[in-house]
Structure 1
Amino acid sequence: MDIRFLTTFIEVTKTRHFGKAAENLYLTQSAVSARIKLLEEYFHTTLFIRQRNSIQLTQSGEKLLPYARQLCNTLSDAKQELQVQSSEYAVCGATQLASDLFLPHVLANLHTHFPDWSVKADVLTLDTLSRQLHERVTDLAFSTEPLKSEDVNSVVLFEQPLGLYRVGKSSDSINAEEFVAIDWGAKARDWLLTAYPQLRDAKLRTNSLSLALNNLCEEGGIAVLPANIETQLRGRAEVTLIASIDNTSLKVYLHTMKQIRRVGLADIIASVSSIASIT
């Protein structure tokens, strides 16, 4: 049985509300309901009385609650103890675009300044990144979107203006057959569809900048790209700016928990924060 089922059970007990429990755990309400259902199936009993505006523990739920708290506390203590004994590692998580744009710089920094530390790096969705950060599975989280949480510190590590660029041979045409769509967010998408409504369709849609650039260098085409793209592609392909996107920039955020429990992690965070490149 997954220990997270018990933490979900405790949170529902505390909030008496599936929706509030889901918000506190950074889950969907359906995921909370599914976990409680699986827990009830595991114990072959009903744990909650579900009424319209009230969720109450059944007698079985009351009996389970102290055991659930004890198990979760014991595992939390064991996890912290093991981390103290083998603290020389860091777990980095990043969304796809943040990984493409900034994670290599982070890894180079860590390997240079903390050679005795082992680093684990994962590419995750934004929801999974947020959940793992709050569960302290991930130590440093990177994304191109902000995380809204009072428990998290967020700093901007990287900022670049965006523009519509042509990669490859020059041409006056701008059409969907040569457009590679990268998801830079709603503001960039709204500008693009207003200025170039013909680009509502695309030959390729991706959340991977590296995949998009490889395709553009191989086949040519147009795409919304950061302003430093000419430096990145120097020697690989000709790059031409078609139009700048006003008042819209690409940002990469570093997110960390405000309460740092890991030995040495504060030094890691400070070092990574120092390589911010805002232009």
Structure 2
Amino acid sequence: MDIRFLTTFIEVTKTRHFGKAAENLYLTQSAVSARIKLLEEYFHTTLFIRQRNSIQLTQSGEKLLPFARQLCATLNDAKQELQVQSSEYAVCGATQLASDLFLPQTLTHLHKHFPDFSVKADILTLDALSRQLHERVTDLAFSTEPLKSEDVNSVILFEQPLGLYRVGEPSSQINAEEFVAIDWGAKARDWLLTAYPQLRDAKLRTNSLSLALNNLCTEGGIAVLPVNVESQLRDRAPLTLIEPIDDVSLKVYLHTMKQIRRIGLADIITSVSSIAPK
């Protein structure tokens, strides 16, 4: 049985609300419901009485609660003890775009300045990134979107303007058949659809900058790109700025937990925070 089922059970017990428990655990409400259902199937009993405006523990739920708390506390103690004994590691997590933009140089920086540390790097969705950060599975989280949490410190590592570019031979035509849509967020998308409504469709949609750039260099096309990729593309394919996107910029954030429990992690966070964009 997954220990996260028990932590979900405890959170629902505390909030008496599946939606609030889901919000606190950075899950969807359906995921919380599924975990409770699997837990009930595991114990062959009903744990909650579900009423319209109230969720109450059954007698079985009342009996399970102290055991669930004890098991979770014991496993958390074991996890922290093992982390203290093997503290020479760092786990980096990043959303796809943040990985393309910042993770490679972060790994190079860590290997150079913290050679005794073993580094793990994962590509995650924003929800999974937030959840793993709060569960302390991930030490340093990178994203192009902010995380809203009172327990998290977030800093902007760098910020770049965005522009609409053509890769390949110049042309006055701007149409969806040559548009590569990269997910830069709602503001960039709103600007684009207002200025170029014909780009509502695209030949390719992706959250991977590296995939988009490879496609653009191979096939040509137009895309919204940060200005710092100009130098990367000029040696690979002709590049023309069609129009800058005013008041919309790309940001890469570093998120870390406010309470740092492992030896050496604070130094890593401070060092990574100082990395200038390449």
1:156/1:276 contact within 8 Å kept? no
Which residue in the other structure is 1:214 paired with? Answer: 214
**Unpaired segments ≥5 residues, structure 2:** none
What's the TM-score, normalizing by structure 2? 0.98
Distance in 2 between the 1:192 and 1:264 partners? Answer: 44
2:102/2:277 contact within 8 Å kept? no
What amino acid is aligned across from residue 180 of structure 1 in structure 2?
V
Which residue in the other structure is 2:224 paired with? Answer: 224
1:138 and 2:131 correspond: no
Give the CA deviation at 1:96: 0.4
Distance in 1 between the 2:229 and 2:170 partners? Answer: 16
Give the CA deviation at 1:265: 0.5
Which residue in the other structure is 1:120 paired with? Answer: 120
Which residue in the other structure is 2:152 paired with? Answer: 152
1:142/1:254 contact within 8 Å kept? yes
Give the CA deviation at 1:276: 4.0
Which residue in the other structure is 1:8 paired with? Answer: 8
SS at match of 2:49: strand
What's the TM-score, normalizing by structure 1? 0.98
What amino acid is aligned across from residue 107 of structure 1 in structure 2?
L
What amino acid is aligned across from residue 49 of structure 1 in structure 2?
I
1:46/1:60 contact within 8 Å kept? yes
1:161/1:227 contact within 8 Å kept? yes
Give the CA deviation at 1:158: 1.5
Which residue in the other structure is 2:57 paired with? Answer: 57
Distance in 2 between the 1:277 and 1:215 partners? Answer: 24
Percentage identity across paired residues of the two chains: 89
Distance in 2 between the 1:65 and 1:184 partners? Answer: 44
1:93/1:141 contact within 8 Å kept? yes
1:95/1:144 contact within 8 Å kept? yes
Distance in 2 between the 1:67 and 1:6 partners? Answer: 9
Which residue in the other structure is 2:91 paired with? Answer: 91
Distance in 1 between the 2:236 and 2:39 partners? Answer: 55
SS at match of 1:65: helix
1:242 and 2:254 correspond: no
**Unpaired segments ≥5 residues, structure 1:** none
Which residue in the other structure is 2:253 paired with? Answer: 253
Q: C-alpha root-mean-square deviation of aligned residues, in Å? A: 1.0
